[in-house]
Structure 1
Amino acid sequence: MKQIKGPAIFLAQFVGDEAPFNSLPSICRWAAELGYKGVQIPTNDKRLFDLERAANSQEYCDSILAIVREAGLCITELSTHLQGQLVAVHPAYDEMFDNFAPDEVKGQPRARQKWATEQLIMAAKASQRLGLKSHATFSGALLWHTMYPWPQRPQGLVEQGFEELAKRWLPILNAFDEAGVDVCYELHPGEDLHDGITFERFLTATNNHPRAHILYDPSHFVLQQLDYLQFIDIYHQRIKAFHVKDAEFNASGRAGVYGGYQDWLNRPGRFRSLGDGQIDFAAIFSKLTQYGFDGWAVLEWECCIKHPESGAREGAEFIAKHLIRPTDKAFDDFAGASTDSERNKRILGINQ
């Protein structure tokens, strides 16, 4: 069996204007001091990473690797969550998702989509230059506004929506294939890829593209009330990245999985710092180890109660405690016997 690597941390939620969170060298030193071994780097903030330069310059990528290694860390993956979201945006969300786009394409959906696609293709090349094997992103959504089937969805709407989503992603997936990097979609409410069934629909629409994979984050499955352990049994061959994020769902007589438009603090389902929620991470790490997952266990901190720096500090120790060193022998080897074909035949009653 292979071993999960970690602990690592997704830097997106920690970037800010104050040191040590305002540059790659200082935030890497901060992460290393907490006990992290790897960092997942967002590509939308040039304070940490210039995606265009990385796509076009091996020298720049080598300098990024040197910064990270000097802190004693590895890069686990690059992230294009915000850019991936903009590959597919329904018009109802245009104005809100324009916040993720540069000023020159705001209010221009087609130009924004083109920009997002170019960003993802640059991320493929940058990942290749950095020697990475997986990439973290969102799928975007054309169908999310029809998530609940009322009014009744017209026949063929879902199939046509996934055909269009696949059409937009195929050039990107092909670019990642040329780069030798897997695209790991974080299955997330608000995205057309948000559970196992929708991921299967996407695979069908992309003809089972070899680079279409999953970023496994159990917190989003708790909020949807999906069996996050059985999910691993079903989809483990496609899980190529892992966000370690906790969550809880507290059933209520006043609100359910949709949350009643409440803020995060008051929703029945909410994200929590590691160890403060309801997720059985011991079982998750066991299953992923059982199935040979050898990627990184990456903390994604999101919590409506605890301070992020406390969550980061506790998260490193939490992940480290859950990493499993796989066994190289069976527990009952001490009682075993050497191989003897004739003896086995006698035990089985063969040729007697």
Structure 2
Amino acid sequence: MGTQIKGPGLFLAQFSSADAPFNSLSEIANWAADLGYKGVQIPTFDARLFDLDKAADSATYCDEIKGICSDAGVEITELSTHLQGQLVAVNPVYDEAFDAFAPTHLHGNPAGRKDWAIDQMMKAAVVSERLGLSHTVSFTGSLAFPFLYPWPQRPAGLIEEAFTELGRRWTPILNHYKDHGQDIGFEIHPGEDVFDGATFEMFVDACGGHDAAMINYDPSHFLLQQLDYLQFIDLYHDRINAFHVKDAEFNPTGRQGVYSGYQNWTERAGRFRSLGDGQVDFAGIFSKLTQYGYDSWAVLEWECCIKSPEQGAAEGAPFIANRLIEVTDKAFDDFAGSTRDEAQIKRMLGL
């Protein structure tokens, strides 16, 4: 008997650095395996670990990447294109801030940056297929998010046009992913136009109900919005293709609430925390995902304003492993069961 959900997995983006063992895929994969991780989610935007352009040109390089991970004793869970996906749609107010995610020669060139991001997304579909995967994770980008709060009054049709444009940009990408046997789990995240269930529905509608538009489920972003993250699974479980295991806490005061008063992370009412240090009900989440048949990876995304990443990673592997559920093929009251007796049934019903 085994677990239905695979894990523990580790998203490498927050650990990559210029220092060993975090500056090469081989070393960081071995480090993760030594901590007890069975899989790694690879950021395609960090050339120290992975070269997406090279992978798109070379099947041999993809085989080398698979070999590096296999030799370390980990599987590749998904490819992450969060930063490139973000750049598919950028409101001009964010141009300067998000230029940091693009190559230097594209800074100050929003149209060129968008085209580059779309090309990167297309390449990731081909590479994910070459690696023998079927799921990827990303962001939708944001055209409407600066107008999140309805003051000043929004012009009629502003939000509708923003999502229509998202559909125009993402539908060809999603078609390409489907052609390569892939889908995209969009992380539902404030700062993106898709930040809750309602906006995800709007996005899917704008993409014609596309079945390659999926969800990378991360309860931390829902807790900070005070959204019911367990009911979210009830509503959207058929669209969840990936799972970021990330904790958070929300402690409102008389001074600040959900918006957290422009404070730094340590002073915010809503904060991301290492696994087990926050308020997320992971027992409930793992139970519901198992109940609905989720059979992909549980991947730690570490973000904490207090604890070190090394400690967070070391604690994260056993935390996830201890919450994986071995699915039963028995009913708890089987011992009291009996074979069907038609005569007995009729007697008990007075028939």
Q: Into which bin does the TM-score normalised by the smaller protein fall?
A: over 0.9
CA distance in 2, matches of 1:340, 1:114: 69
Structure 2 equivalent of residue 27 of structure 1: 28
Structure 2 equivalent of residue 281 of structure 1: 282
1:84-125 superposed Cα distances (whole Å, 9 cap, x missing partner): 000000000000000000012111000000000000000000
Structure 2 equivalent of residue 216 of structure 1: 217
1:56 and 1:333, CA in 2 relative to 1: closer, same or farther beyond 3 A? Answer: same
The offset of 1:299, in angstroms, is 0.2
Helix, strand or coil: the match of 1:271?
strand
CA distance in 1, matches of 2:212, 2:58: 24
Structure 2 equivalent of residue 312 of structure 1: 313
CA distance in 1, matches of 2:340, 2:62: 53
1:77 and 1:88, CA in 2 relative to 1: closer, same or farther beyond 3 A? Answer: same
Q: Indicate whether 1:336 and 2:337 are aligned.
A: yes
Q: Indicate whether 1:247 and 2:248 are aligned.
A: yes
The offset of 1:186, in angstroms, is 0.1
CA contact (8 A) 2:10 2:32 kept: yes
The offset of 1:346, in angstroms, is 4.4
Structure 2 equivalent of residue 37 of structure 1: 38
Structure 2 equivalent of residue 203 of structure 1: 204
Structure 2 equivalent of residue 12 of structure 1: 13
Matches for 1:285-296 after TM superposition, within 5 Å:
285-296=286-297
Structure 2 equivalent of residue 135 of structure 1: 136
The offset of 1:56, in angstroms, is 2.5
CA distance in 2, matches of 1:180, 1:110: 29
CA contact (8 A) 1:121 1:176 kept: yes
Helix, strand or coil: the match of 2:185?
strand
The offset of 1:342, in angstroms, is 5.0
1:301-330 superposed Cα distances (whole Å, 9 cap, x missing partner): 000000000000000010011111011110
1:266 and 1:340, CA in 2 relative to 1: closer, same or farther beyond 3 A? Answer: same
Q: Indicate whether 1:80 and 2:84 are aligned.
A: no
CA contact (8 A) 1:2 1:293 kept: no
The offset of 1:26, in angstroms, is 0.3
**Which amino acid is 1:161 matched to?**
A
In structure 2, stretches of 5+ residues that fail to align are none
Structure 1 equivalent of residue 59 of structure 2: 58
1:341 and 1:207, CA in 2 relative to 1: closer, same or farther beyond 3 A? Answer: farther
CA contact (8 A) 2:9 2:299 kept: yes
The offset of 1:341, in angstroms, is 4.5
**Which amino acid is 2:245 matched to?**
V
The offset of 1:257, in angstroms, is 1.1
Aligned length: 350
**Which amino acid is 1:306 matched to?**
K
Structure 1 equivalent of residue 265 of structure 2: 264
1:53 and 1:339, CA in 2 relative to 1: closer, same or farther beyond 3 A? Answer: farther
The offset of 1:138, in angstroms, is 0.4
TM-score by length of 2: 0.98
Matches for 1:167-246 after TM superposition, within 5 Å:
167-246=168-247
The offset of 1:344, in angstroms, is 3.7
CA contact (8 A) 1:2 1:292 kept: no
CA distance in 2, matches of 1:170, 1:135: 16
In structure 1, stretches of 5+ residues that fail to align are none
1:141-190 superposed Cα distances (whole Å, 9 cap, x missing partner): 00000000001111111111100011011111011001111110000000
CA distance in 1, matches of 2:3, 2:36: 22
CA distance in 2, matches of 1:113, 1:340: 68
1:22-54 superposed Cα distances (whole Å, 9 cap, x missing partner): 100000000000000000000011111111121
Helix, strand or coil: the match of 2:14?
helix
**Which amino acid is 1:62 matched to?**
D
TM-score by length of 1: 0.97
CA distance in 2, matches of 1:126, 1:341: 58
Helix, strand or coil: the match of 1:292?
coil
Structure 1 equivalent of residue 159 of structure 2: 158
The offset of 1:2, in angstroms, is 6.9
> Segments of 4+ in structure 1 off by > 2 A?
339-349
CA contact (8 A) 2:38 2:75 kept: yes
The offset of 1:345, in angstroms, is 4.3
1:250-287 superposed Cα distances (whole Å, 9 cap, x missing partner): 01111111111111000000000000000110010001
CA distance in 1, matches of 2:193, 2:97: 17
Percent identity between matched residues is 64
CA contact (8 A) 2:44 2:50 kept: yes
